[in-house]
Structure 1
């Protein structure tokens, strides 16, 4: 190993120049190197090297201002890091149970602390970055490239005077409906592609920057008091995290997962996005790249259950109200996903000008799965709302009436094939998991009438429930394989079958389930010990084969192990899965074991939801699935 001692300013400048060359060739960082920030409206990602590579203002599903995550730095980013190539991150963490990120950099000339956060509760869209000198003097480099509209627009940039402080300047960028203002004592200078510059920070010195989005027809918002905004952000997240009911060996992971779910929830609408990103690949270099910045009814329903289990009744009710608004109207218009505010029009299109994360094409916005019929969705919603009733949530004339309409929708489509939990892009089929969730929808309706005094045709629903149960056991179970199958009459298996006991269709230790688990272990477990969703080589999903293990599936297997007395197997797998989190406790959609890297959109709500369920099973936390496991 070569060690250089930088005793001269000239040599330091040479290294700085080399660093600028490195910066100009930088590509998106490994997915696990990113940190999530949140103001409960949007979720930017900050890389370990100090670059904000993804930012959508003002909402999760707004067009991005920074798109380097799915392109290069020319597609927009905000880099703030020491100018020396030898600079190293020696510590990176969230302040307690918050999304206030602190990164300690060490260079040959000193140390600095960078604090990145978003203000919560100020009714504005801002990203704040504070640099604090810890030792010596460190030269910092800043590069700001603003590209609104998913990097399709080059904004008009200029310096203007701050009306509130005539001695200060603001760097303004404007294009169409978007205006962005950067405040700070060392504004970067214009160059061919954006703005950049260097400045020094000495021990005891603090330098603050605020990047604010606002509608271009409005006045520039006044500057925030950064100290106050920081105190408020820390206080909010610490207070929210302090209400978390969690214990056991995985208590910290559960708490961070619940915090992630909260961070992905829009504070005004209550909509929960599946992830704050689009097109992070399930298979590097492949086409399985999807936009997850929308609200899936399935994900939100599972979030409701987790929030209730761990003491967040208010958030659960907020989601129910979002649901009622989103799906209100003719049940025939029911969608599997909606925009953050309940929007229905989410057409999918490809952004050909973006090269994709590590050249994984295409980059997509919108999601064509919005038009799919997925027969499991009403069941997911009905099971979650039953859980809410069990926790003391009260129905009103609107909420229960809407649920009755949903059950009518299920009955009307009881003979229809669907595209399944995994949003297959092949042909519609009878997916066993989907049929079970239709069963669960009627089961929840029956319980609402008989256990909670709601009005409804419980006897008729019971007939439909039993009809489905007999059908599923006849058509969805292969006695020769001693296993449930992915589809009726098909020979493939599917990790989604692990959900059957979770919703009470049968017991975790039922012989049908034990046989299914044995087959899943034989056919879907990878050499790395993780569970695939299904075999993509079968062609059932209409796409080229190839993807990495979907983490939620392995967490479901942990739950199955824990509920059937396989404690040692559950512990080994759970420890492995929790170990795939980055040092901030964040999980992606998938994990590439051989490459030892994350894959898929990040952070992924479904992965964190499944972690909470698995931990609850390990800790023997009682859930609705246990209360109804007899499959009555």
Structure 2
């Protein structure tokens, strides 16, 4: 198991339709195509022997490696320092505007900047999660892997690789060795296409690969210039914004929760989920973050994707909306186990698909309505059909808000009356009333108002525990839950209300560990799963905002700064942080970076206006 890199020892590249992880040793060990949620082509991250990989690394073991991004881009540079020289590998995927395509390019540009170096190239695709057969053809000008569903072409790039490198077949893949001196460059371009439509291999001139590098650089720098954030944490926020953009499926505007599947929340445990889908909740939070940074086009695309799901009314008995969808809008997410994969460092089962898709989670309606309300205040309005269908969803919620549900954390231990779900039902009804009033739209406002007030009163009566002197996870339970950190952000309670301050104090004592925040205690609230988990990075960023709004600005700032020390070497966050600071769960995690952006912008604003000032919410809106 020591051959597996740390989850954090990776950078992310992509072309806004799919993405790949590149480890610090130069190995691409995760890559799916043609979409984020397609079967894997390289998946050594989940099984070193059967998953497949594409490695470019020095031909010796005694090297030091460092990674960085080309500033203001998604172009990853892996540097290798050896006794003989220093070399670099530039990894990127050119972005092709327009509709979805089955063809994607992955470029690996190799250059030596000091001395001499020998690089070993080892490419072993294993399409279809390692289950598909493939046939290898080696040509004078490259190689082609013919698979059952995908064809993969390798093109040599640059004169040096053409003159001095020979390609050899080995163990279902190819190997090659490349010797370069300072100032020399070479590379490989990997092309994927639908089976039967392989791109013919060819020698790619060095000037062409450099042109692709330049075009990709200009794309990302032009995009990052659109950010209007100029606060204290500019570089950190910019990297999070680029990471979120990398996890966006451009043809539909959908944001995946993470580009990976089955990375464990506990090493050796069973909490291994597939996050390559778009949650209603995540899409909603992305609207706030992107509008806060000034990326209106992306926010509008997310809002449009969200409205399309409402119009489709694709739900069943669990509600008018599914909690998650594929990036193109389908709700087919059947969960299965890949028994032939051992899992990351033996963490089985390896799951693809997601069985939580059919759960009832009432909070999604609040997050959806609040994001649409927030978008409306920025000129992204809802048309007649969208309003009509949205009104039906709100009417449905009036009849069903009092049902037990699985909750925001998608527990598998049975339905409960979750306080957070009730609270977000209140948000849905409140924002619906405000939208109807501000736009003069037809609605059942009287019913919505009466129901909204009933939800509020029930939460205050049953969500509050006199024994704990705190709002609790679900009615009748003493368990605390970090999702309730959002109570002051959404305007459900005033941030200086004694009931809220008492809740925050209780969370400080029970859920917070050196500024890091657990979402809840699994031992105290059985969730139907074995094992434990780390602290949730998203919850820590929520904690920062709650502290700031409650007048504890200096502690909020310290907590935020301490949290940033847990980022990986590139500024990326997974879902969780382990006991010794290791990253756990799928990587990178959209929700972590969305929460980081919102916390940074809100904390900046409040620091600039003094500890007694509570400003407009950027996160979940109240105005």
TM-score, structure 2 as length reference: 0.93
1:237 aligns with 2:220: yes
Structure 2 residue corresponding to 1:79, chosen from 49, 55, 72: 55
1:469 maps to: 456
Residues 113 and 134 in structure 1, CA contact (< 8 A), matched pair in contact too? yes
Equivalents in 2 of 1:525, 1:446: separation in Å?
36
Equivalents in 2 of 1:554, 1:589: separation in Å?
11
Equivalents in 2 of 1:627, 1:209: separation in Å?
45
1:272 maps to: 255
Q: 1:357 Cα deviation (Å)?
A: 0.7
Equivalents in 2 of 1:627, 1:60: separation in Å?
28
1:366 maps to: 353
Equivalents in 2 of 1:573, 1:215: separation in Å?
48
1:561 aligns with 2:547: yes
Equivalents in 2 of 1:492, 1:627: separation in Å?
24
Q: 1:192 Cα deviation (Å)?
A: 2.7
Structure 2 residue corresponding to 1:58, chosen from 6, 31, 34: 34
Q: How does 1:345-360 map to 2 (within 5 A)?
A: 345-360=332-347
Equivalents in 2 of 1:281, 1:466: separation in Å?
41
Residues 110 and 138 in structure 1, CA contact (< 8 A), matched pair in contact too? yes
Residues 536 and 576 in structure 2, CA contact (< 8 A), matched pair in contact too? yes
Q: Deviations over 1:366-407 (max 9, x none)?
A: 000001000100110000000001112222112212221220
Residues 56 and 66 in structure 1, CA contact (< 8 A), matched pair in contact too? yes
Structure 2 residue corresponding to 1:118, chosen from 89, 93, 96: 93
Structure 2 residue corresponding to 1:413, chosen from 400, 403, 413: 400
Equivalents in 2 of 1:92, 1:627: separation in Å?
35
Equivalents in 2 of 1:453, 1:244: separation in Å?
33
Equivalents in 2 of 1:205, 1:628: separation in Å?
54
Q: 1:219 Cα deviation (Å)?
A: 4.7
Unpaired stretches in structure 1, ≥5 consecutive residues: 1-24, 161-167
Unpaired stretches in structure 2, ≥5 consecutive residues: 157-161, 607-614
* SS of alignment partner, residue 114 of structure 2: strand
1:460 aligns with 2:447: yes
TM-score, structure 1 as length reference: 0.91
2:530 maps to: 544
Q: How does 1:66-465 map to 2 (within 5 A)?
A: 66-89=42-65, 91-121=66-96, 124-160=103-139, 168-184=140-156, 185=162, 186=165, 188-220=167-199, 225-330=208-313, 332=316, 333-465=320-452
* SS of alignment partner, residue 434 of structure 1: helix
* SS of alignment partner, residue 69 of structure 1: coil
Residues 275 and 292 in structure 1, CA contact (< 8 A), matched pair in contact too? yes
* SS of alignment partner, residue 584 of structure 1: coil
Equivalents in 1 of 2:240, 2:472: separation in Å?
31
Equivalents in 1 of 2:270, 2:331: separation in Å?
25
Residues 26 and 73 in structure 1, CA contact (< 8 A), matched pair in contact too? no
Residues 73 and 145 in structure 1, CA contact (< 8 A), matched pair in contact too? no
1:41 aligns with 2:20: no
Equivalents in 1 of 2:42, 2:90: separation in Å?
19
Equivalents in 2 of 1:107, 1:598: separation in Å?
28
Q: 1:539 Cα deviation (Å)?
A: 4.4
* SS of alignment partner, residue 517 of structure 2: coil
Residues 417 and 428 in structure 1, CA contact (< 8 A), matched pair in contact too? yes
Count how many residue pairs are aligned between Structure 1 and Structure 2.
596
Equivalents in 1 of 2:228, 2:498: separation in Å?
34
1:591 maps to: 577
Residues 146 and 154 in structure 1, CA contact (< 8 A), matched pair in contact too? no
2:610 maps to: none
Q: 1:606 Cα deviation (Å)?
A: 0.6
Equivalents in 2 of 1:279, 1:329: separation in Å?
29
* SS of alignment partner, residue 428 of structure 2: helix
Equivalents in 1 of 2:185, 2:42: separation in Å?
26
* SS of alignment partner, residue 536 of structure 1: coil
